[in-house]
Chain A
Amino acid sequence: MQENSKTRQRHIVEVEFNQQQDVYLERLRQEGKYGTSDAEIIRNVFQEFLEQIQS
């Protein structure tokens, strides 16, 4: 079934990272698995976190 973008709401959450925490984003960016932009990495990590705690 195709996702209906009009009915599926998206939410923007602002998260604050400090300069030291940026290092972890950069490491994950270099791994390549979690995306390239900071937002993409955080979202994909969060998704994996949810899957871990639900399994």
Chain B
Amino acid sequence: MQYGAKREDIILPPVSGKALPVYRGEVLRIIQVEGGQCVDFNAFNLHDYKEYMSTSNTRRAHGFRVKKGDLIWSVHSRDRPMFSILEMSDSCVTDLLGGRCKASRHYSERFTPDAYGIHTNCQDTISVCIGEYGLTPDDVHDSFNIWMNTQWDSAGRTSTVSNSGRKGDYVDLLALFDTLSVPLTCGGADSNNFFYKPIQIQVFEASAETQAIVEAYERKYGPRQRTLQHFTVKEIRSERELQRDPNYVPEFVNFPMKTRRIAVELSEEQYTALQELKKHLVGKEEGECLRTAFFLWYDRTRRKVPLRSMLRLS
């Protein structure tokens, strides 16, 4: 794919990062200079920082190991794609579960302010980067972890294994709207093969091809996006103390939920089968079991992406 001209080319030294605007249609390239370095990534809407990257929203769309062709999504309140992953080396293991490392993770090793000093960590590195734009440590969010070779067991516990990034490997992120992008070199102890390395960052201007991709996503996802006009409360708080608004009237979606009972006549055979299903399906009452069967059927036969994995026949 043809990108525009390169307008930014910087080296991020170990345990550092950079907040930089990457505009709609531009491509942010993140390159392994030596290999074996984990990159943490945060991103914000450049014109409204309350819209920022969401690892959980992205996980819902693509799972927690995003790859080439996947999208990186903004928070649920806005729900729109921020980046398209145009390129990703095969060696790049991504992780959207691990969040980011923090200083206190190393307190037990006496990396504390009154002993050896604070250990490098991504929470603090991101805070320093975004401070340039007036954002605070509270604005740091869970990272899109790039080249972070995690393993997760069935109990949900994690461990980090050898970083598989190779020299020259790169990831290309196409910005789908104007962003403040924050790539940084991870300062954790174990994600980087026990030694910190630099990372190279390049930004390519928009081209006709990248603009066309952006416009296609805007056509596809634009109608479902949420904007401030959908919010009941629009203003950003300036006080830290929370106080109740006595005049506030909650307006929940479809509240109160209306229900109705439908009498369904079943044959002897169907009723017997329903009794048998009661032993296996979620639902203690006959009607509940019949409804569950209805929606399991609907899920299997009508939905492009089945919703139910938690209900299964034994």
Q: Are A18 and B297 in contact (CB under 8 A)?
A: no
How many B residues, CB 8 Å from partner? 31
Q: Are A10 and B294 in contact (CB under 8 A)?
A: no
User: Which secondary structure dominates where chain B touches chain A?
Assistant: helix
Output the least CB separation between A40 and chain B (Å).
9
Q: Are B259 and A19 in contact (CB under 8 A)?
A: yes
A50 and B254 CA atoms in complex are apart in Å by 32
B264 cross-chain contacts in A, Cβ below 8 A = 12-15, 39, 42-43, 46
B260 cross-chain contacts in A, Cβ below 8 A = 16-17, 22
Contact mask A16-46 → B, CB, 8 Å, 1/0?
A: 1111111010010000000000110011011
Instruction: Indicate if B257 sits at the interface (CB-CB under 8 A).
Output: yes
Output the least CB separation between B285 and chain A (Å).
9
Instruction: Indicate if B290 sits at the interface (CB-CB under 8 A).
Output: yes
Instruction: Indicate if A9 sits at the interface (CB-CB under 8 A).
Output: yes
Output the least CB separation between A9 and chain B (Å).
5
Instruction: Indicate if B131 sits at the interface (CB-CB under 8 A).
Output: no
Instruction: Indicate if B306 sits at the interface (CB-CB under 8 A).
Output: no
Binding stretch for chain A, among B43-51, B60-68, B210-218, B266-274: B266-274
Instruction: Indicate if B265 sits at the interface (CB-CB under 8 A).
Output: yes
- Given A39-B265, A46-B293, A49-B294, do A13 and B259 touch, yes or no (CB 8 Å)? no
Q: Are A20 and B297 in contact (CB under 8 A)?
A: no
A10 to B, closest residue via Cβ: B265
A39 to B, closest residue via Cβ: B264
A45 and B262 CA atoms in complex are apart in Å by 14
A42 and B290 CA atoms in complex are apart in Å by 8
Q: Are A14 and B265 in contact (CB under 8 A)?
A: no
Instruction: Indicate if B13 sits at the interface (CB-CB under 8 A).
Output: no
Residue in B266, B271, B287, B298 whose CB lies within 8 Å of A16: B287
Q: Which of B259, B264, B313 has the most CB of A within 10 A?
A: B264
- Given A16-B287, A24-B298, do A11 and B271 touch, yes or no (CB 8 Å)? yes
Q: Are A13 and B271 in contact (CB under 8 A)?
A: yes
Q: Are B291 and A15 in contact (CB under 8 A)?
A: yes
- Given A42-B290, A45-B298, do A50 and B262 touch, yes or no (CB 8 Å)? no
Instruction: Indicate if A6 sits at the interface (CB-CB under 8 A).
Output: no
- Given A13-B264, A17-B291, do A49 and B254 touch, yes or no (CB 8 Å)? no
Residue in A12, A16, A27, A48 whose CB lies within 8 Å of B297: A48
| Interface, chain A (partner B; CB < 8 A) | 8-22, 24, 27, 38-39, 42-43, 45-50, 52-53
19 A-B residue contacts at CB 8 Å? A10-B265, A10-B266, A13-B264, A15-B288, A16-B262, A17-B291, A18-B257, A18-B259, A19-B258, A20-B254, A39-B262, A42-B264, A43-B265, A46-B266, A46-B294, A48-B297, A50-B293, A52-B300, A53-B313
| Interface, chain B (partner A; CB < 8 A) | 254, 257-268, 270-271, 273-274, 286-288, 290-291, 293-298, 300, 302, 313
Q: A9-B268, A50-B273 are in contact. List 20 more A-B contacts (CB 8 A).
A: A12-B264, A13-B264, A13-B266, A13-B290, A14-B261, A14-B264, A15-B261, A16-B260, A21-B295, A24-B295, A38-B262, A39-B263, A42-B294, A45-B293, A45-B297, A46-B266, A46-B274, A46-B297, A49-B294, A50-B270
